[in-house]
């Protein structure tokens, strides 16, 4: 079926309305300002549709509230730039874009360059995009710079979606000296007893470039993520690839991670390339360079918890499978710190072989079939 689109102008907003029973709304904001984008979003009146953001740049004032199911499409990560400026407090914790579910599937954000507060004194734990309880979302072909909390912050029960072909640059504020995630994934402290390794029910991060962040990815509270085919370099302060165990405000740790096909290199400060502090997963086919250590498996570090308890500690590292990873061209096996040696043992909690019957999820991710978003 072909849609016949009728273009009209309403309050300065360009609108295309589908002229058949299956309505497809398309709206173009007057400028890249949050005020004009919000006006365009609101003109959809609760219906799903596409909001186009033109090329140009504008100071980002406040937070864009994007209903789930909406498609927000900029002109490209080098063409449409939203930046925090003098009208935002340098210590602001506001997200630039927030999507609050639950609601329709199909949320899309693409073709934007989001720049946080550049002031070196900023202690604001802000984020570029926050998605809460949003299912089957896609964030693609976006650039993020200088956010205190995360470029993309995902939280919710059973959330799943895709972050691909993004650049995340300097997602770390030295004045905070913490946080600083390219992507951070939080569950709701619930466990998925039907979790399928290699299945679709995860937050996928693929084909992204992460430069100068504190963690390229981190997780907690029952999270499930897949981190694959990414390039991580010049990481700041600590391990680029991270998964928390219980603690630090979350009674449950990370449930499951899949980390494969990544290139991790040239850290600004030496640290392990990966540190898995809880949960299970598969780690394979990664290329690590310039780090003194490759893959760490450890109990977490929250001093409010008793890590000397008898084995097993709930949500500790267990059911981890590691194979075919290299460090400076040589196969690397995981290391276990002495403090964790009684709780994390080879052959019981981790295995140096391919996980039986495991097959990775389809790559590229099926959500990338949306060719309208395939733009730089």
pLDDT at site 5: 36
Distances (CA, A) of 278 to 38, 86, 176, 301: 40, 41, 25, 11
- Buried b / exposed e over 288-319, threshold 16 CB at 10 Å, is beebebbbbbbbbeeeeeebeeeeebebbbbe
Which residue reads 């937070």 in tokens? 63
Q: Where are the domains of the chain?
A: 148-370
Residue 231 · residue 262 · CB < 8 Å: yes
Distance CA 354, CA 14 (A): 53
Bridge partners (DSSP) of residue 231 are 209, 263
Residue 282 · residue 221 · CB < 8 Å: no
Q: Which helix (H) or strand (E) is 125 found in, with range?
A: none
Distances (CA, A) of 186 to 17, 23, 153, 219, 285: 37, 35, 8, 6, 25
Burial group, residue 6, by CB count within 10 angstroms (0-12, 13-18, 19+) = exposed
Take residue 348 and report the two structure tokens written for it.
């019981």
pLDDT at site 278: 98
pLDDT at site 3: 34
pLDDT at site 138: 98
Spatial CA neighbour of 297 closest among 266, 321, 330: 321
Q: Which helix (H) or strand (E) is 304 found in, with range?
A: none
Distance CA 279, CA 52 (A): 40
Return per-residue pLDDT of the chain as tens, 376 residues: 333 332 333 344 555 544 333 357 999 999 999 999 999 999 999 999 999 999 999 999 999 999 999 999 999 999 999 999 999 999 999 999 999 999 999 999 999 999 999 999 999 999 999 999 999 999 999 999 999 999 999 999 879 999 999 999 999 999 999 999 999 999 999 999 999 999 999 999 999 999 999 999 999 999 999 999 999 999 999 999 999 999 999 999 999 999 999 999 999 999 999 999 999 999 999 999 999 999 999 999 999 999 999 999 999 999 999 999 999 999 999 999 999 999 999 999 999 999 999 999 999 999 998 766 665 4
Q: Any idea how long the chain is?
A: 376
Q: Which helix (H) or strand (E) is 53 found in, with range?
A: none
Please report, for the chain, how many H helices and E strands are present, in that order: 1, 34
Beta strands in 38-187 (DSSP E): 49-52, 56-59, 64-65, 71-73, 80-83, 97-100, 108-110, 113-115, 127-132, 135-140, 143-145, 150-155, 160-164, 167-169, 181-186
pLDDT at site 373: 65
């Amino acid at each position: 079926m072909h849609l016949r689109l009728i273009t009209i102008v309403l309050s300065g907003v360009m609108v295309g309305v589908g002229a058949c029973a299956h309505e497809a709304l398309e709206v173009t904001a007057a400028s890249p300002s949050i005020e004009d984008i919000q006006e365009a979003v609101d003109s959809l009146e609760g219906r799903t549709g596409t909001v186009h953001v033109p090329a140009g740049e504008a100071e980002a004032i406040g937070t864009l509230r994007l209903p789930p199911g909406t498609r927000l499409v900029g002109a490209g990560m080098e063409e449409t730039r939203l930046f925090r400026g003098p009208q935002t407090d340098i210590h602001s914790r506001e997200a630039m874009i927030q999507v609050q579910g639950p609601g329709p599937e199909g949320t899309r954000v693409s073709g934007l360059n989001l720049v946080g507060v550049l002031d070196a004194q900023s202690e604001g734990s802000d984020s570029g995009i926050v998605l809460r309880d949003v299912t089957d979302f896609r964030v693609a072909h976006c650039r993020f710079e200088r956010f205190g909390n995360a470029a993309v912050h995902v939280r919710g029960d059973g959330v799943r979606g895709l972050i691909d072909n993004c650049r995340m640059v300097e997602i770390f504020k030295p004045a905070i000296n913490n946080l600083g995630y390219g992507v951070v994934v939080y569950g709701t402290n619930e466990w998925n007893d039907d979790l399928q390794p290699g299945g679709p029910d995860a937050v996928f991060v693929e084909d992204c470039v992460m430069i100068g962040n504190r963690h390229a990815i981190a997780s907690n509270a029952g999270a499930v993520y897949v981190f694959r085919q990414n390039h991580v370099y010049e990481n700041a302060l600590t391990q680029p690839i991270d998964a928390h165990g219980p603690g630090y405000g979350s009674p449950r740790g990370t449930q499951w991670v899949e980390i494969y096909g990544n290139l991790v290199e040239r850290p600004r400060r030496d640290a392990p390339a990966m540190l898995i502090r809880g949960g299970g997963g598969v780690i394979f086919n990664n290329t690590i360079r310039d780090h003194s250590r490759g893959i760490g498996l450890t109990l977490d570090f929250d001093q409010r918890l008793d890590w000397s308890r008898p084995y097993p500690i709930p949500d500790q590292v267990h059911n981890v499978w590691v194979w075919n990873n290299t460090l400076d061209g040589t196969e690397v096996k995981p290391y276990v710190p002495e403090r964790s040696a009684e709780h994390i043992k080879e052959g019981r909690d981790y295995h140096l072989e391919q996980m039986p019957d495991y097959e990775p999820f389809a790559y590229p991710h099926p959500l990338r079939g949306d060719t309208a978003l395939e733009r730089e």
